[in-house]
Amino acid sequence: MTGTILNPKIEKYLNDILPKRDSLLAEMEKLANRRDIPIIGPACGRLLYLLAKISGAKRVFEMGSAIGYSTIWWARAMGPQGHVYYTDGDASNARRAREYFIRGGLERRITILVGDAMKSLQKTPGKFDIIMIDVDKPQYIDALNAALPKLRKGGLLVTDNTLWSGKVVNRGGDESTRTIQKFNNKVYGKPTLYPVIVPLRDGVTVAQKL
């Protein structure tokens, strides 16, 4: 769950200072570490929680949710009046996520969608207060194009892995690196967005739709 963006000592400090998580989140973190499942981790989880709280969000759509770790942070932050749309292309991930949601008493706050996240977003009625992009990296530009029309004015676009283990500073590179570089340029170049890249873990971009 730790990235390579920060000085390792600073990274360790940020993780060590975090309050202890409850047993459900702790179990998910252990599973993710053991099986190398990509989750945002607790430091970023707290960021998501705070963003939902201060923005007053009530509808969140996650494009890529794995075992539902980030989904739980969103759902808890918004309370019983909020709703999160979980998406993942792997049915086994979705089944495991559902078990966690039930155990956490959050199943009524979450809709589980299995399949292509962008198609699921387009099929879901209404606009959203927050949309999170965390799909396969080569899909980031398509995800951005799909997300913006579904994000309300004043809403937040949150994107994970936008520093990509520091590879964004290199020219060339693989397809994922090139796509993230292009994504970052597009987000900062759009007059309808006000973005900031938070250098936490692997880089989290938070952009408000103007």
98-109 pLDDT, tens per residue?
Answer: 999 999 999 999
For residue 173, is it within any domain?
yes
Alpha-carbon Rg for the chain, nearest whole angstrom, is 16
**Tens digit of each residue's pLDDT (9 = 90 or more) over 172-209:** 789 999 999 999 999 999 999 999 999 999 999 999 99
* pTM beyond 0.75, yes or no: yes
**Tens digit of each residue's pLDDT (9 = 90 or more) over 129-159:** 999 999 999 999 999 999 999 999 999 999 9
Specify the pairing of strand 110-114 against strand 151-160. unpaired
For residue 3, is it within any domain?
no
| Of 179, 181, 176, the residue nearest 197 (C-alpha) | 181
Residue 50: pLDDT band (50, 70, 90) is very high
Q: Which long-range contacts (CB under 8 A, 24 or more apart) does 96-99 make?
A: 96/67, 96/68, 97/65, 97/66, 97/67, 97/68, 97/71, 98/68
**Structural domain total, the chain:** 1
Cβ atoms of 208 and 193 within 8 Å: the answer is: yes
| Of 165, 141, 37, 20, the residue nearest 93 (C-alpha) | 37
Per the structure, the complete domain to which residue 69 belongs is given by: 8-209
Q: The domain spanning residue 120 has which CATH number?
A: 3.40.50.150
